[in-house]
Amino acid sequence: RFQAFVYFASVFQAISCGIHYLASVFMAVTPNFVCGIPGNVSSILFYNSSESSLEDIWTLWTSTENYIVVQLENGETWELNQCSRSKREVSSDLAYEYKGNKSVFSCSDGFLYDDTKWRSTVVTQWDLVCDREWLAKLIQPTFMLGVLIGAVIFGDIADRLGRQRVMWFTSAGQFVFGIAVAFTFEYYSFVIVRFLLAMVSSGYLVVAFVYVTEFVGIKARTWASMHVHAFFAVGIMVVALVGFLVRTWWVYQIFLSVATLPFVLCCWMLPETPFWLLSEERYEDAQKVINIMARWNKVSTPCKVSELCSVQQDDLVGGGTGDNDPSSAKKHNILDLFCNWHIARRTITVWLIWFTGSLGYYVFSLSSVNLGGSEYLNLFLIGAVELPCYIIACIGMDKLGRRNTLIPFLILSALICVLIMFIPQDFNILIILANMAGKFSIGVAFGLIYLYTAELYPTIVRSLAVGSGSMMCRVGSVVAPFCVYLRSVWIFMPLLLVGIMALLSGILTTMLPETLGKPLTNTLVEATEMGRNKKSCSGKTPPAHSGAALEKIEMFGQETISTEK
């Protein structure tokens, strides 16, 4: 009962993380637009259609190459393009086609936007079009850069100050910065506040994952840790729902940020984890938390911290020889991940999978609003399809193995990317279903790689391996928005890049060893042997460890399934 309360209270806030990660898909949308009109309009012409107001023209707008002809009350005739406007020298007849001389002017009177779908976005608020379009395209990449930095900073702070304090700070920060974004009335302050929001959102996601992992029992730990991703996906679905209901960007942002409030009001009730308290030698505080857990779970004889500590000391004295091992005294660095050809090849493959998983995840998510049909329904379905994919990932990696689950889903995602290219653009439903299948397959691979990485490397460099993989993952999330922008070059360019990366990753994964049922390795020699001879490790038992040390190793193997997407 206690673990269930802690788990659902903590992962509820992961919904808010999913919200803020994908909020920009509607907040920073660019509607149809033309140059502002330099005077009062008497007539409007678009091709052969003469309308009484500009609002009626937008329903006929089909291409960025279109232009609108307007006649002013003073008799002047202007052609309004997206990034320029032209004054006709001869204004006798109002006709769409004109072969005479024209004077070209810049859009000094601002722009006119199509507000039939979105009453206001950050693009229309600050005219982030034409020569300022690049500013709009930086909104999501700068947010993802904040995600990268926040994960590193708050992950370290959580190890120093505790999980509970960081969760308090980051959850409150999500609410404060989320509301503050809505009240920024200048582009650069908007980007800065969003950057801070990204840092605290990323920090919460990483720390909350470790927090729930340290409370959940061993039997349920894999499923519980994997399904933190599912709550993130619920956040994506909330974005679609709120975007459908609210069409003004700052009101939309406020509604999304309010989702954080319930947790902010009750997060002070959550205790610190006993694991962290024991690591800091705060034994009395750890005993208090254990006693609370015992009362909630109706356990009559809770364990005593003093007994645990005495057992650990006895095990260390009786079986601990690691202090004399010169390898344990050596400080390891990133170069140890390339110490020999087998480990180097493994590292390159793992890094590529991390990068591809993140790239594919965000390309499918961010591109969903451009698939045709209802962009709100598309994003909702892209989020909903994640919920079953993590169930499949858990079943697959426990029944078939990590590698045997990872390979087919990586290759499947590549094949789906190719398939989408051959679907006619008029078949909207088929395109949406194919994109959902692509998101499903890449989601399985993306969720699985966290645990697989921890099992592929020995204890002495496991932290480095997972940390470096997470960095490649975040690099992929920063690159993803730029990849989506390549649609302007060729509509299938993002899918082509994801497909190539996924196929290459799937092929290289065939050279990785299977880790299901294998003991965790402790030295680089053992890890290398696991790669050379798949049978050599299956019959071995790991070197002697204390009971506490084994528990820590197992805990680490589960904790490294970082939710930092």
Looking at the fold, whether 105 and 129 belong to one and the same domain comes out as no
How does pLDDT run across 503-550, given as a tens digit for each residue?
999 999 999 988 887 777 777 888 888 766 544 333 343 443 333 433
- Ranking 28-37, 87-96, 432-441, 501-510 by mean pLDDT, the lowest is 87-96
Q: Is residue 548 part of a domain?
A: no
Domain boundary, last residue among 71, 94, 116: 116
> Quick one: which of 271, 253, 339, 290 has its CA closest to 525?
339
pTM given for the model: 0.82
Lookup result for tokens 């404060």: 176
**Token pair recorded at residue 65:** 């190459």
Amino acid at 563: T
Answer whether residue 216 is part of any domain.
yes
pLDDT at 158: 80
Same domain, 472 and 402: yes
pLDDT at residue 553, rounded to an integer: 36
Claim to verify: residue 348 and residue 266 sit in the same structural domain: no
What domain range is 484 assigned to?
334-529
Is 326 a domain residue? no
The reply to whether 9 and 73 lie within a common domain is: no
| Phi and psi angles of residue 69, each rounded to the nearest 5 degrees, phi first | -105, 125
**Model confidence at 353: pLDDT above 70:** yes
Give CA–CA dist 495/506, Å, rounded: 16
Domain-located, residue 285: no
Tell me the three state secondary structure of residue 424: coil
Query: Is the domain of 214 the same as that of 228?
Result: yes
Amino acid in position 224:
A
38 lies in the same domain as 4:
no
Same domain for 11 and 83, yes or no, is no
Final residue of a structural domain among 116, 133, 159:
116
Question: Would 329 be classed as within a structural domain?
Answer: no
Are residues 490 and 515 located together in one domain of the fold? yes
With b for 16 or more beta-carbon neighbours within 10 A and e for fewer, the 240-273 pattern comes to bebbeebbebbebbbbbbebbeebbeebeebbbb
Pair (377, 510) in one structural domain: yes
Identify whether the C-beta of residue 464 lies closer than 8 Å to the C-beta of residue 337.
yes
Inside any domain, residue 319: no
Domain boundary pick from 66, 93, 116: 116
- Does one domain contain both 129 and 109? no
Q: Which two tokens stand for residue 526?
A: 């053992």
CATH code: domain of residue 2: 1.20.1250.20
Does one domain contain both 370 and 509?
yes
Q: What is the pLDDT of residues 310-342, one digit of tens each?
A: 655 555 445 444 444 444 445 667 788 888 888
In a domain, 76, yes or no: yes
Decide if 257 is inside a domain. Answer: yes
Identify whether residues 5 and 68 lie together within a single domain: no
Rounded to 10 degrees, the C-alpha dihedral 350/356/358/362 comes to -170
The pair of three-digit structure tokens given for residue 371, joined into one six-digit string: 């698939």
Number of domain units in the chain: 3
**pLDDT of 63:** 67
The rounded percent of the chain whose pLDDT value lies above 90 is: 28
Residue recorded with tokens 């947790």: 263
